[in-house]
């Protein structure tokens, strides 16, 4: 069933499937029971590091802070002296640096030709409370400054009011404003309330043109959880089966430990398959995760646990 909107046929979003909350929570918990050891663990840790979007989104951000974060993104092995002897390829770089639009040009210059992407939040992040024309200008400004990716937030107030076509149209407009930049659509799942609403918001975002769907801004609690991420991964799977189009996934906020990140990778592989196990299709929005991954890599190499005090604080 579809309804007419702006001379287009838009799906009836009230038809998104009902989610079995108990079933999702039980299945998500089973992924945490898996054990990954030795070489597989080391490969997994490096994969996690290569999927991280290092992020600074504070009012006190400065050019210097962004440049320092970019250096760490390119040279994570320099974060702790014993890792510095490894070659560049042994410890991979992260996937992207995520900053406010005003800092995009600084990050772009600092990263040079490293291949690390510059992502920028937009659309009145984190609240999303702004007129659409301002959101579009915000997006175009970020892209014109050099952003490779744009992380937008949906209008949760409109979503809760049942104005799904408004949310759809807004995402479609921002996607158009992105041009060649990839669009990550942040659902802010902690404000949505139920798995049914998370699934509906995921469907809207993908149908409107999202390249990625993302759990959270990281500014409210709860942020990413495994059950919520599982609901979103299943939405991506179903969308792929219907359209043949791959959509990326980014859990953000609340993932600070390597062990948990590895559990997320197990879940991605079992729900979506190995094709999604690259930073083109899966990201972690978790800057604090990077140091824990480096600590675990060093532990795997030396057999010794290290204190977080020996690693650079970002």
Q: Active-site residue numbers?
A: 151, 214, 250
User: Is residue 121 helix, strand or coil?
Assistant: strand
Closest CA to 3 of 209, 173, 172, 169: 169
Name, in order, each residue with C-beta under 8 angstroms of 233's C-beta and a sequence gap of 6 or more: 249, 267, 268, 271, 272
Residue positions counted in the chain? 314
Report whether 236 contacts 214 (CB < 8 A): no
d(CA 171, CA 11): 15
Q: Is the dihedral of CA 270, 187, 96, 294 positive or negative?
A: negative
CA atoms within 13 A on the CB side of 287: 19
How many whole angstroms separate alpha carbon 37 and alpha carbon 227? 24
């Amino acid at each position: 069933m579809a309804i007419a909107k702006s001379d287009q046929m838009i799906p009836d979003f009230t038809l998104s499937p009902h989610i079995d909350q108990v079933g999702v929570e039980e299945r998500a918990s089973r992924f945490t029971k898996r054990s990954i050891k030795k070489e597989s663990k080391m490969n997994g840790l490096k994969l996690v590091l290569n999927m991280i979007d290092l992020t600074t989104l504070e009012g006190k951000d400065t050019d210097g802070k962004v440049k320092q974060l970019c250096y760490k993104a390119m040279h994570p092995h320099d974060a702790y002296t014993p890792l510095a002897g490894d070659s560049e390829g042994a410890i991979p770089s992260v996937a992207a640096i995520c900053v406010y639009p005003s800092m995009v040009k600084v990050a772009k210059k600092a990263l040079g030709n490293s291949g690390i992407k510059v992502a920028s939040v937009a659309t009145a992040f984190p609240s999303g409370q702004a007129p659409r024309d301002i959101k579009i200008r915000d997006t175009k400004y970020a892209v014109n400054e050099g952003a490779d990716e744009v992380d937008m937030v949906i209008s949760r107030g409109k979503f809760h009011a049942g104005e799904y076509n408004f949310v759809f149209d807004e995402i479609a407009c921002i996607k158009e404003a992105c041009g060649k930049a990839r669009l990550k659509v942040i659902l802010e799942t902690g404000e949505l309330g139920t798995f049914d609403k998370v699934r509906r918001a995921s469907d809207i975002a993908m149908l409107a043109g999202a390249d990625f769907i993302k759990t959270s801004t990281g500014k409210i609690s709860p942020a990413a959880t495994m059950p919520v991420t599982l609901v979103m991964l299943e939405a991506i799977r179903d969308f792929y089966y219907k359209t043949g189009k791959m959509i990326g996934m980014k859990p953000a906020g609340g993932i600070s430990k390597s062990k948990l990140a590895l559990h997320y990778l197990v879940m991605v592989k079992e729900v979506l398959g190995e094709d999604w196990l690259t930073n083109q299709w899966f990201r972690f929005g978790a800057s604090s995760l990077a140091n824990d991954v480096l600590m675990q890599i060093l532990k795997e190499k030396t057999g010794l646990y290290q204190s977080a005090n020996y690693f650079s604080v970002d």
